[in-house]
Amino acid sequence: MFNRAIALAALTQAVYLVDRIARKGLSDAEDCRTCLESLFTEAGNAQNPLAIYGDLYHLRTGLRICADILSGQDLPQAKALMTYSAGLFSLEKRLGKQAKLRHHLGDGMQRISKQRQYFGDAMHANIIAAVADLYGETISTMKPRIIVRGKSECLGQVANTQRVRALLLAGLRAAHLWHHHGGGHLTLLVRRKALLHEIRQLQRRAADI
């Protein structure tokens, strides 16, 4: 449950940032960095999701929003976040059955990882653009596509659409971790209280860091 809670918090943080960019054109830089850096960690770290994100403090936004949604808080963006999350869960499942697309994605991330080493920051505009392009070449070709809704003046800016695509790919990584550790649709229904309890414990630990 600990690993599932980490994965769900990371996914929630990614889609929350997507929604913020789409509606307001704004996002917390450090929260974004946590999500985008997760794309460049070793695949073997799937056994230890927390190692992918550094520490719980880096996931505090995702933990907070996740706890609010699981506890039934009336969040205006909750429906959008759950829709994006459900879409990423579904895409990740389908991606697992498409070996050619996975190889394309993996090769692309290896290439971008070398660029990231050169620039030294996953938040560099060139890296975000490269990840966004890779998302367009791979995940955007799958159906049904995730439709991000927001203000046209926000989504009409190239830098914002690139950040959205890069964050969706980071969310897909978190969705993979969720499934890898036994998470599924029934987990969110049957184990909701246990998951919320774990999320709140992690929140307290994040506050103590």
Ordered DSSP codes for the chain? -HHHHHHHHHHHHHHHHHHHHHHHS---HHHHHHHHHGGGS-GGGGG-HHHHHSSGGGGHHHHHHHHHHHTT---TTHHHHHHHHHHHHHHHHHHTT-HHHHHHHHHHHHHHHHHHHHH--TTSHHHHHHHHHHHHHTGGGSSSPP-----HHHHTSHHHHHHHHHHHHHHHHHHHHHHHTT--HHHHHHTHHHHHHHHHHHHHHHHH-
Q: Do 7 and 53 touch, CB atoms closer than 8 A? A: no
Kindly state the tokens that stand for 1: 């449950």
CA torsion sign for 145, 149, 153, 157 is: negative
Quote the CA–CA distance of 21 and 27 in Å, as a whole number: 6
**Distance, CA of 40 to CA of 173 (rounded, Å):** 10
Residue type, 15: V
Task: Give domain limits for the chain.
Answer: 2-208
Report how far residue 121's alpha carbon sits from residue 94's, in angstroms, rounded to the nearest whole number. 30
CA contacts within 13 A on the Cβ side of 16: 24
Tens digits of per-residue pLDDT, 152-207? 999 999 999 999 999 999 999 999 999 999 998 888 888 899 999 999 999 999 98
pTM of the model: 0.95
Fold of 2-208: YcfC-like (1.10.3890)
CA distance 13 to 199: 13
For the chain, give the mean pLDDT: 94
Local confidence pLDDT in tens for the 209 residues of the chain: 999 999 999 999 999 999 999 999 999 999 999 999 999 987 556 778 899 998 999 999 999 999 999 999 989 999 999 999 999 999 999 999 999 999 999 999 999 999 999 998 999 999 999 999 999 999 999 988 999 999 999 999 999 999 999 999 999 999 999 999 999 888 888 889 999 999 999 999 998 76
User: How far, rounded to the nearest angstrom, does the alpha carbon of residue 206 sit from its chain's CA centroid?
Assistant: 19
Rounded CA Rg of the chain: 16
* CA dist., res. 11 & res. 84, Å (int): 9
